[in-house]
Structure formats: structure tokens, C-alpha cells
Structure 1
Amino acid sequence: MWRWDRWGTVEYDGPALGQAQVVRRLSGSMARGAALVGGAATVLCTAVAAVVAGVPGLWAGLLGGLLATGSALLTPALMLRTARLEPGAVMLAAFGGLAMKAIILLAALFTLGGLPGLHRMSLAVTMLVVFVATVAAEAWAGQKLQILIGSDPGSPDA
């Protein structure tokens, strides 16, 4: 029915019928891509932060990566919740998810940045890198997903 490609996105064998099924496939592919890329970016940023800033950099990198990757899953979750609504509502949810991610990460940075056990710059850089990487992965997954638009081949209208 479906298979993973090397980028963590899913290639489905059959066409998606209806907006809800298309949105479910798209949000699933976006979530998988964002989780894989977010995890890889977190590991890379945490390693660099640990070398540069020691243990506070390690903790800041892990926390920043966890927050940024977790917030990246907000957009696909909102899209799933609105899959059966009008297309405009789904687009608004996707945009709202992107804006909400940025607000959550800024609030977390300002709240957690002053803690004594965390390196503030490592936290900020990790959150920024993972945020950009996961948004790019979501866009890549959306671009890669093939959607057939038209009538059902088995319908009398075809």
C-alpha cells in the first residue's frame, strides 16, 4: 500500500480520493520528514554545542532540539484535525501551526535562556537550526507527495 523512501517520506501506491485522504497523507509525510530531519539536526547541533560549551551546551542542545522537533509536529497535527473541513481552513491551520511554532520557540528561548545550567547561545542556535531544517523537511515532503487531482477513475463521470 505504501513504502518509505530514503528521506522518510511515504510513497503511496494508489491515488488519494478526497481532500481528507490527501491531507492525511500529506500531514503524515510531513510529520515523518520533520521528525527524521529534526532528530538528525538535534544530534549534530548537540554534538557541536557539547564541544564548544561543554556540559551546559550539551543540555542546551538536547533541550533546544527536543523543543524544536516537538513543535515541528504541531503543523501536521493541526492539519489532521482540520482534514475534513474546507481547504481554506486546512491552509489556515497550516499557517497557524507555523506561526505557533515560532511563538512557542521564542517563548521557550526567553524563558529557558537564563537558566544557569544551559548555554544560551547553544540553545538558540540549536532551536533555530532545527526549526529551519524541520520546516524545509515539511516543505520537501509536501512537494514530494504526488497528488492526483480529478475524478475517480471508476466513477461514471470519468
Structure 2
Amino acid sequence: MFAILNNDLVVGRTTQAQTHNIELASSVDITKLRFDGVKYLDMTIEERTSFFIDEYGRKHIVLNESWQALECHFNDALVKDNDVWRVRKAEDDYQDAYQAVDDARQAAYTARVRPLLEEAEIKAHLGETDEYARLMDLAVVERESIQAELPWPEALVNLAAEVLVDESP
């Protein structure tokens, strides 16, 4: 088998010889290979920490003027932040988890709390104060239930920012 290349990326296999004419073992995971112009390199065992990132976040080993140079490891996840690629950090995972909980809470509030609030407002308008109070109490209980079902992710602790100061004499 021979590799089908797109720049230095191995994007497929073929039985027909290609311009580089180097055979590729069929058992190799092509998503982890790069072609340096001479040979295939397995990025999972290469000690490379410098890549060129294309517009899709793929890591290349050959320079293209439109790609961003980035110091990272092959297995590092990347994030595009204001049109600049960077290595994904724990804070990114926390923000994603926080947003997922917030979205789920908002959906649950809309489905389970809002109907109670709307009915309570109607009852208040009709002068049914006891029913208004009962529905508002149910809305509060439902809200607390949602918050218990969907807790916020555990906050990150930035150990590097913690400074222990010994103020003893």
C-alpha cells in the first residue's frame, strides 16, 4: 500500500505508487503519520514539540506561510482563541463543563419552574393569594431540586497562585 498525501498529512491509502513511492504498512494508523519529504514519521513516538497549525487545527511538520507555528506535543488538544491556536488548558475544560451545566439548568428552569411562575402570576392577578403563595413555594422547591440535580463543576485550584506566607515571629 502507498500513502495518499496532502502536504505532509497522510490522508488515505492506495495500491498505486505515488510520486514519493514509499510503501506504507497496512497496519499503521495514518492519522498519526506525517511525511517529511523523505520518510513517514509516527508522531506518537517522535519527540517533536514544534508544529505548524493549519486553519482546521491539524498539526503539520512542514512549513506553510499561512499556518501558525506552535510549540506543543502531537497529542495536545488545541483551541482556537481569537483566531490564534493554543494548547487547551484545564480552565477550558472547566469553562466547557460550567457552560454545559448552565445550559442544562436554563432548560430545566424553562421546563419545570417557569410554568409554575406563570401560573402563580395569573393567580395573583385573579386575587388568589393563597394559591399564588403555594405555586411560588413549589417554584422555589423545583428550582432548588434542579440546582441539586445539576451542581456546578468543582472549581479549579490554581496551586501556582497560592503563596504560603509564614507570619510567625
Q: Same fold (TM over 0.5)?
A: no
Q: In terms of Rg, which structure is larger?
A: 2
TM-score, normalising length: structure 2 = 0.30
Name whichever structure is richer in strand by fraction: 2
Instruction: Choose between structure 1 and 2 for higher RCO, CA contacts under 8 A separated by at least 6 residues.
Output: 1
TM-score, normalising length: structure 1 = 0.31
